[in-house]
Chains A and B, each alone.
Chain A
Amino acid sequence: MSALPRPAYEFAPSACGGLRTSVAGVEVLMRASGALWAPGSRVLIVADLHLEKGSAYAARGQMLPPYDTRETLGRLAAEVAALSPDAVVLLGDTFHDGRSEDRLAADDAERLRALAQGRTLIWVVGNHDADGPRALPGEAVDEMVLAGLILRHEPQAGPQYGEVAGHLHPAARVTSTRGTVRRRCFISDGERVILPAFGAYAGGLNVRDAAFGGMFVRPPLAGALGAHRIHAVGWRSLTGD
């Protein structure tokens, strides 16, 4: 190691394929699934599930496969089974639109209820699902504080120390001589973190987009979702669309 200053953020791969880092001094783990795990408080955080996006398209005549909700909930159930969290926080836009809960199939509703068994389920509401759940278990909140972190759906403008948010669906694009790859990603400058969308049909917005401007106090680090692990990618390696 040389005498050059170390980067302000620290990261280390973990055995499960995740990436260990800290946000505002709180240790968190970026999971390969796109979920964020706060081991200190045993809280699992997922953003932008967009449940029933498929049926929202179908209602307008575009018949996307109707399996997105069970796919998304299946992945979430696998994370819950792996980590046994005390609480699961759904970080907003859990439903794709205001009528999604009505379209939810009975077995998918059951899957959601099963997730809330024996733990707290918290719905941080977002712009797509401003009212929170009607018949499903869990508590709806606008935002919440968790051991030095503030959890909300939409990131606020300017640097926000300790903020954990979703909404923007960050995606990282990396180009090499052999081609280009675009993946969902976490993005963090060590002070705040924005989660990738967890939903099966949720799209991604390039982190080089102006929407991410002015948010970070230093060039942020992207945690790109690979096949079975998170890849840490530096700002300079990222390209716009």
Chain B
Amino acid sequence: MAEDAGPGPHLLPDRFAAWFAGRGWSARAHQLEMVAKARAGRDALLIAPTGGGKTLAGFLPSLIELAERPPANTPRGIHTLYISPLKALAVDVERNLMAPILQMGLPIVAESRTGDTGMSRKQRQRVKPPDILLTTPEQLALFCAWEGARLYFENLACVIVDEIHAIHASKRGDLLALALARLQTFAPNMRRVGLSATVDDPAVIQRWLGFCPPPFAGEGDRAAGVVEGAASGAAPSPAPSTASRSPSPASEGGIRTVDLVRGPGGAQPIVDMLLSEGRVPWAGHTAQHAMAEVYDVIRKARTALVFVNTRFQAEFAFQELWRLNDDNLPIALHHGSLAAEQRRKVEAAMARGELRAVVCTSTLDLGIDWGDVDLVIQLASPKGASRMVQRIGRANHRLDEPSRALFVPANRFEMLECQAAREAIAENRFDGDAARDGALDVLAQHIMGLACSEPFDMLRLYDEVTASGPYRDLAYEDFEQVVDFVSTGGYALRTYDKFRRIVKGQDGLWRVRDAATAQRHRLNVGAILSPAVLSVRIAMGKSLRGGRKIGEVEEGYLEMLDPGDTFVFAGQVWKLMAVTGLDVLVSPAADKDPKMPSWGGSKFALSTFLAKRVRELMFDEAHWKVLPADVREWLEIQKDRSLIVGEDELLLETFPRGKRHFLVCYPFEGRLAHTTLAMLLTRRLERMGAAPLGFVCNDYAVAVWALKPLDGIDFDELFDQDMLGDDLEAWLAESFMMKRAFKGCAIIAGLIERRFPGEHQKSGRQVTFSTDLIYDVLRRHQPDHLLLRCAREDAATGLIDVARLGQLLARIKGRIRHAALDHLSPFSVPILLEIGKERSPGQAGEMILAEAEDDLIAEATR
């Protein structure tokens, strides 16, 4: 503990000290420091590993304040608001928080409120607010769009944002930061508290969390400093300048910085790697080869969490484990597509210690406190060191004992990746999210919500918005454009001025047009970009009515299936009966060998940080000795037959195979960046006359094939950075990714409503009115529209990862090592094995139609 004497036990009231003592504990230093920060009225970010009593540290100051508060006769509003990125976590923390409250007999009401909370409880919470409310960013956004918001939150003393590292660098993070700024307006003295797992760069999160009211006009830079609270006292550092900021009326309140509090370091985790009989397969993503050994490990553990990266993998692993489950171990399944009720059941059984293993996806990445878990198994590669640390932290919530984890690589490249991740974890090195600028579609949704809540003044609102981390650098012109978008759609053709959704009154304030418009907005709040969701229901009767709901699937999940086909869902085999409207009707099937859509790889991209470590590991021959014999041998043969290149070089191989000529390169930049690269490469190869026929990508490599030999090409020219100019623009405008990004932005910004009563129906039938139509029209008639700008930014950072591709091209400029081979290399085998499994949604439309026509012609001419 740092300055002065450091926070001492005297910070704890007797009742609390006695409670700690009664449990045989003493309050930890960082818990006391959080109490001290609260007493001083400081905002604080607590960084501590799992198991460090982090949640209690966050709540302790509020519990003390509430316990010391004199009783009142009138309701006092919310005292502490707790925000969790996961519904399940909010419910779990509510349960854990009740222990100290009940054991100390504190007069405190703590309740959760999530999308799953019943209507009557929600109504009651509005009339009679609890002292502590535990909720999600989406629920908070709904509060912000409610007429009673100001009154409800005027006594708010503290907001706690949990698992803040998992939310700050996303659109949900943008929305939450805006909501915090709004709460601060309602309750100027509100303190902000962030709880985070260990991160590489806390300053990014401090900046996000910080409340930073604008300076006086013309004052220039604000010192939006961060303070290393625990270490060195105040050490402000300047924030980026905000050049295009407009003059704004002076606002009181100075600079508020977020103090950093660090918890103790945890014990070093023990991470092992499972090598099935010492062999690692060439290719594949399911780790099917190792399932028997995984089962064996589960049998020997007390309780294991088996993490996978996708729902497909989860269903697959669950099936496989049960196929082997001769001991009838209670093994459960948990992923985002399952019905909420079923997930709650699994969570409750887990909390009661009744399960031996849960196969799960990222839905259980975050903080749910399951003390009994003693082993974390990662099936297939972790893709990032931080996520892996988070997952490992799920095992053993006791600080002084090391967590145990087991990696099960599914193929040889994954083996390298797992090894790199192990080493990064051992060195305490992490890959973190960079700070991001707040998205304008999210801002549009927020502004519409505020107008539904109460009238707003544009300049004051600008100050409020720019006091939040992500929107600190928002230019006034952009803000104005967003307000215009919210009001009229923001079109150059001003024909909608008479239909404004928000209108400026005589008093100069903006308000929502009418109650119906407000009501519709509230139905559409939220920033999770989820594709249209279909309910999976059991088919009833001959007329196939929808019965009990088993879960939800995203649109496109069942694209490959026809009625009659079987598939695995929620751990069982089902037969697809029909898809009607928004329901997928299924019936149980006895089929042991379900037809499952093919699935390659992970939805997470390999992190830049981990990719670099993999490249380093491959280049450093001395390092190979840590690898299993077959992988080492594979690398040796690669070196012998082709090349092993330096970390900053790009290996590019060309070779003939069958009647085709292949070009394979290994950038290790993740599937998204690779797909974009492959799209652009094929365009250029086309132009060079090389007649490319197709391509396939995974996280590690790109393979392109053509009719003609490719080894005579000038590869420096082919990979020139200028491909990110016109080629990218031309491809992007037509690409389905832009359309998908546009749809997301249009929904978030409220241009398209997720639910619009009475529309899209033609005498009860579904008429699909696709956002692609809107995209096409808008792109032709107003290419600079706000939402197209948002979509372009989203596509560039998310779906196509242009940023990362740009870094790659810069990195390898002049450093391409070409190996012209007679036949395929050891490295190229995994990617070549993926050919044919790959599906290319969207862009193949014309080809599919052409094929259907060929079928017809064949039929007609037979």
Contacts and interface: CB of A to CB of B under 8 A. Distances in A.
B489 A65 contact: yes
A1 interface: yes
Nearest to A205: B767
Q: How large is the interface on A (under 10, 10 to 19, 20 to 34, 35 or more residues)?
A: 35 or more
Given A55-B495, A171-B768, A65 B781 contact: yes
Contact of B559 (A6, A68, A169, A180): A180
Given A65-B489, A67-B778, A241-B766, A176 B848 contact: yes
A65 to B, nearest CB: 4
B849 A71 contact: no
B842 A239 contact: no
B489 A63 contact: yes
B855 A67 contact: no
Contact of A234 (B493, B513, B856): B856
B774 interface: yes
Nearest to B499: A58
Contacts of B496: 55, 58, 63, 66
B349 interface: no
B560 interface: yes
B488 A181 contact: no
Nearest to B749: A63
Contact of B844 (A179, A221, A231): A179
Interface in A207-235: 209-211, 221, 224, 226-227, 231-234
B854 to A, nearest CB: 10
A240 interface: yes
Interface centre among A63, A204, A233, A239 (most CB of B within 10 A): A63
A174 interface: yes
Interface centre among A64, A221, A226 (most CB of B within 10 A): A64
A234 B840 contact: no
Contacts of A169: 762, 767
A200 interface: yes
B62 to A, nearest CB: 40
A70 interface: yes
B21 interface: no
Contact of A65 (B491, B520, B765): B491
Contact of B852 (A171, A182, A203, A231): A231
A217 B23 CA distance: 82
Contacts of B844: 176, 178-179, 181
A201 B768 contact: no
Interface string B477-498: 0000000010011110101100
A241 B768 contact: yes
A58 B495 CA distance: 10
B770 A203 contact: yes
Q: How large is the interface on B (under 10, 10 to 19, 20 to 34, 35 or more residues)?
A: 35 or more
Contacts of B621: none
Contact of A176 (B762, B785, B851, B860): B851
A23 to B, nearest CB: 18
B751 interface: yes
Contact of A209 (B765, B839, B849, B862): B765
B856 A174 contact: no
A118 interface: no
B127 interface: no
B422 interface: no
Nearest to A10: B860
B579 A241 contact: yes
A178 B751 CA distance: 31
B495 A61 contact: no
B849 A226 contact: yes
A63 B751 CA distance: 6
A81 interface: no
Given A234-B856, A241-B768, A205 B777 contact: no
A227 B780 CA distance: 15
Contacts of B490: 63
Interface in B545-593: 559-560, 562, 579
A229 B765 CA distance: 28
Given A67-B777, A177-B560, 6 more contacts: A55-B499, A65-B781, A66-B496, A179-B841, A203-B770, A226-B846
22 contacts: A6-B860, A59-B499, A61-B513, A63-B751, A65-B491, A65-B782, A66-B493, A66-B495, A66-B496, A67-B780, A105-B495, A178-B847, A179-B839, A179-B842, A201-B777, A204-B767, A206-B766, A206-B768, A226-B850, A233-B853, A234-B855, A237-B856
Interface of B: 485, 488-491, 493, 495-496, 499, 501, 513, 516-517, 520, 559-560, 562, 579, 751-753, 756, 760, 762-763, 765-770, 773-774, 776-778, 780-782, 785, 839-842, 844-853, 855-856, 859-862
